[in-house]
Amino acid sequence: MPTYKSVTLIPARGGSKGIPKKNIIDVDGKPLLAYSIEASIKSNVDETWVSTDDEEIAKTAEEYGARVLKRPDRIARDNSTSESVLLHFAETITNFDILVFLQATCPFIESKDINESLNMIGKYDSVISVSKFDQFLWSGKDAMYDIDNRPRRQDIEQRYVETGSLFVTSKERLIESRNRISGKIGFVEVPKWRSIDIDTYEDLILARKVMSTKDRSNS
């Protein structure tokens, strides 16, 4: 049975307009970046990397056990895409087969999610994390459902939200498609409370409250 080398990449650039120093801001006693690093290290991946242009972030990443890849300025701008960072990694750190892409801003990712996704590669070409979505959508001021025949939630076809916390694909697929996901795509389903992606101060407040509640429930 063939063996594959899997690595995690966590992009974490220094510039952040919404929340200054967002990737290393304190969340329940630890820098935000630490949560995704720790989840990766506890999982079955072979190596955990952080791509950054920032010395303080690089130092934090190393303190929590990650290896660091210096990101060029040309892909560390506000308009730089995640794909450009993933491709830079694949072209620089070439010795791997499977890439696990984690977001530094998603502190509730767990090692079991990563392991589940790795087990799915082979059956699927790419795997993403999702949570169930059962709310009614409006586009502008127009309902995206028949307001005169409002369906019951249990009668709606099951829909999912991409959480943004976890993407897994092969190096070969990434380079060929230049996309984090391609081919046949599988889902790792996570509960809604673990789908928080910190982009605004409101997200940060919510994450801190969930974290403190989680801590108390485990004590």
Active-site residue (options: 67, 74, 77, 150): 150
Express each pLDDT in 188-215 by its tens digit. Answer: 999 999 999 999 999 999 999 999 886 5
Alpha carbon distances (Å) from 108 to 43, 83, 94, 175: 14, 23, 29, 29
More confident residue, 136 or 12: 12
Q: At what angle do helices 32-42 and 55-63 cross, to 10 degrees?
A: 40
Residue 150 bears catalytic tag: yes
Measured distance CA(65)–CA(61) in Å, rounded: 6
Could you tell me the pTM of the whole model? 0.91
182 class by beta-carbon count within 10 Å (0-12 exposed, 13-18 middle, 19+ buried): middle
The domains located in the chain, with CATH, are 6-131+161-218 (3.90.550.10)
- The predicted structure's pLDDT at residue 2: 54
pLDDT single digits (tens) 40-73: 999 999 999 999 999 999 999 999 999 999 999 8
